[in-house]
Structure 1
Amino acid sequence: MLALSAEGILPKVDYAIFADTGWEPKVVYSHLDRLEQEIATPAGIPVLRVTAGNIRDDALDPEHRFASMPLYILNQDGKQGMTRRQCTGEYKIKPIKKKVRELLGYPYPQHIPKDIFVEQWVGISTDEFHRAKDADVKYMRNRHPLIDLGWSRADCIRYLTSIGLADTPKSSCLGCPFHGNAQWRNIRDSSPAEWADVVAFDAAIRQGNARANASGNRLLGQAFLHRSRVPLDQAPIDHVTAAEWAARQQELDDGAVMVEELENGVVDGCSPWACRGASEYEPVQDDFGLAS
């Protein structure tokens, strides 16, 4: 959408906002720098980077309230579950709304008059038109330009390729539990330092979040980044055939999860307004760190 706006195919936007969780892959930050330098700045479109902190550091800080990631849980009785996903709201949606209020001149807790609002573009394509929703606050009105153009995900890829951006990476936290095996392999095989980082984080969160443990409210069970609920550096992330996956499904997920998602994870990365995941396949437990 930024490129379409800069090129004049879509109207020129006033701002582009990137919500930084502090734990994106380095290729995402490099790509953002390139977009800003080559597309946004020449078109006169400011790129605003907002943040609510570093999600990795916060999860391991016993003094910090942690907005839970959707971690895979193996309970003491052998039952499986997931913790609730709060990270998108806390680390992406809230800082974006805060910035929008500032741009409108009504920082929280000031009341925003009914006739003051922003038009916010959300990059949902026709493949997922059912995910297009109205904003939940009156000072933001959602528009979905890709749907207006009739563009599918394939159309977006063709356009990006035509302007030299075929290598656009998915934006999501480095250690997002919704990664598919292909994404885990890519981190392991292309960036040893980042792989070591996510393996260490996976081990660090095994017994629950740091603040809950410090208060004596430990998780009854173990938490994992990978769906198999084994340590990440031991997880079955190497590519296997569909038949092999089918044979493993009963062991891993009671046969509930499709082979395609196990391999490729969430298709669209983690959009603030359309973050989707596999929670429908897993029973969701109470907050990460609760002992019951």
Structure 2
Amino acid sequence: MLALSAEGILPRVDYAIFADTGWEPQAVYTHLDRLENEIAKPAGIPILDVSSGNIRDDALDPEHRFASMPLHILNKDGRPGMTRRQCTGEYKIKPIKKQVRELLGYPYPARIPKGVFVEQWVGISTDEFHRAKDSDVKYMWNRHPLITDMDWSRADCIRYLASIGLAETPKSSCLGCPFHGNAQWRAIRDHSPEEWADVVEFDAAIREGNARAKATGNKLLGQAFLHRSRVPLGEAPIDHVTAAEWAALQEETDGLDAVALEEGVADGCSPWACRGSDPVGDDFGLAA
């Protein structure tokens, strides 16, 4: 959408916002720099980098309140589960809302007058139209130009990116996102040894849950893992799907398909288009 706006195919936006969880793959930060220098700046579109902190550091800090990640749980009775998902709300939606309020001239906790709002573009294509959602606040009106203006599918978006030299656009998600598919885990392992060591270390560190929960006596009554197989990441079957893993996934997801196992869930953690039911209103203090 940024490139379409910069080219004049879509109207020129006033700003682009990148919500940084602090734990993106290096490829994402490198790509963001390229977008800013080659596309945004020449078009006069500022990219605003916003953040609520570093999700990895926060998970391992016993003194820090932590908005939980959707970790895969192996309960003591052997049944699979998943922890509550709050990370999209805390690390993406909250800092975006805060920035929007400041752009409107009404920083929190000021009340925003009726009729004062931004039009916010969300990059959802036609094959994911079911993900298109309204914002939960009146001062942000969601618009989905890839659907309403372009009628573009994901394939159309990929062809366009290739045509302007951005074919290698990486997926923006936390390095250790539990929604990764096997292909994403393999890419980290095979092409970025330092990042692979990082996620393997993190996976071991959260086996009993996040540090804050443990410090306050709320240790998990089971074990937490980054990979769906619910074994340590360094031992997980990321080169193939085992029969046991397939059976467990079918049970907990009512039939997750092979593409999702390999590529990760399509509807990941995009703000206002997330897979789960993150609290995005008063829980994070910026709704009005």
For the criterion TM > 0.5, the same-fold answer is: yes
Aligned twin of 1:250: 247
Cα separation, partners in 2 of 1:247 and 1:214, compared to 1, 3 Å: closer
1:228–1:236 CA contact under 8 A, matched in 2: yes
Counterparts of 1:135 and 1:218, CA distance in 2? 34
Aligned twin of 2:286: none
Post-superposition Cα deviations, 1:253-286, rounded to whole Å, max 9, x if no partner, equal 548432221111023653122122699xxxxxxx
Displaced runs of 4 or more, over 6 A: none
Cα separation, partners in 2 of 1:203 and 1:189, compared to 1, 3 Å: same
Aligned twin of 1:266: 265
Post-superposition Cα deviations, 1:26-62, rounded to whole Å, max 9, x if no partner, equal 0000000000000000000000000000000000000
Counterparts of 1:14 and 1:190, CA distance in 2? 36
Q: Does the alignment pair 1:204 with 2:173? A: no
2:131–2:267 CA contact under 8 A, matched in 1: no
Cα separation, partners in 2 of 1:155 and 1:251, compared to 1, 3 Å: closer
* 1:98 counterpart SS class: helix
1:20–1:92 CA contact under 8 A, matched in 2: yes
Post-superposition Cα deviations, 1:155-197, rounded to whole Å, max 9, x if no partner, equal 1001000000000000000000000000000000000000000
Counterparts of 2:269 and 2:210, CA distance in 1? 22
TM-score, scaled to structure 2: 0.92
Q: Return 5+ residue gaps in structure 1 as ranges.
A: 280-292
Counterparts of 2:31 and 2:99, CA distance in 1? 22
Aligned twin of 2:24: 24
Q: Tell me the matched-pair count.
A: 275
Counterparts of 1:229 and 1:124, CA distance in 2? 31
Counterparts of 1:215 and 1:120, CA distance in 2? 39
2:80–2:248 CA contact under 8 A, matched in 1: no
Aligned twin of 1:282: none
1:208–1:222 CA contact under 8 A, matched in 2: yes
Matches within 5 A, 1:41-80: 41-80=41-80
* 1:36 counterpart SS class: helix
Cα separation, partners in 2 of 1:106 and 1:46, compared to 1, 3 Å: same
Which amino acid in 1 is paired with 2:45?
A: I
* 2:77 counterpart SS class: coil
Cα separation, partners in 2 of 1:239 and 1:77, compared to 1, 3 Å: closer
1:246–1:259 CA contact under 8 A, matched in 2: no
Identity between Structure 1 and Structure 2 (%):
80
Counterparts of 1:224 and 1:248, CA distance in 2? 13
Cα separation, partners in 2 of 1:272 and 1:175, compared to 1, 3 Å: same
Q: CA RMSD in A?
A: 1.8
Cα separation, partners in 2 of 1:130 and 1:250, compared to 1, 3 Å: closer
TM-score, scaled to structure 1: 0.90
Post-superposition Cα deviations, 1:84-105, rounded to whole Å, max 9, x if no partner, equal 1100000000000000000000
Could you tell me how far 1:239 is from its partner in structure 2? 3.8
2:85–2:276 CA contact under 8 A, matched in 1: no
Counterparts of 1:83 and 1:251, CA distance in 2? 16
Q: Does the alignment pair 1:120 with 2:120? A: yes
Counterparts of 1:278 and 1:26, CA distance in 2? 28
Which amino acid in 1 is paired with 2:246?
A: Q
Q: Return 5+ residue gaps in structure 2 as ranges.
A: 279-288
Cα separation, partners in 2 of 1:17 and 1:222, compared to 1, 3 Å: same
Matches within 5 A, 1:181-192: 181-192=182-193
Aligned twin of 1:223: 224
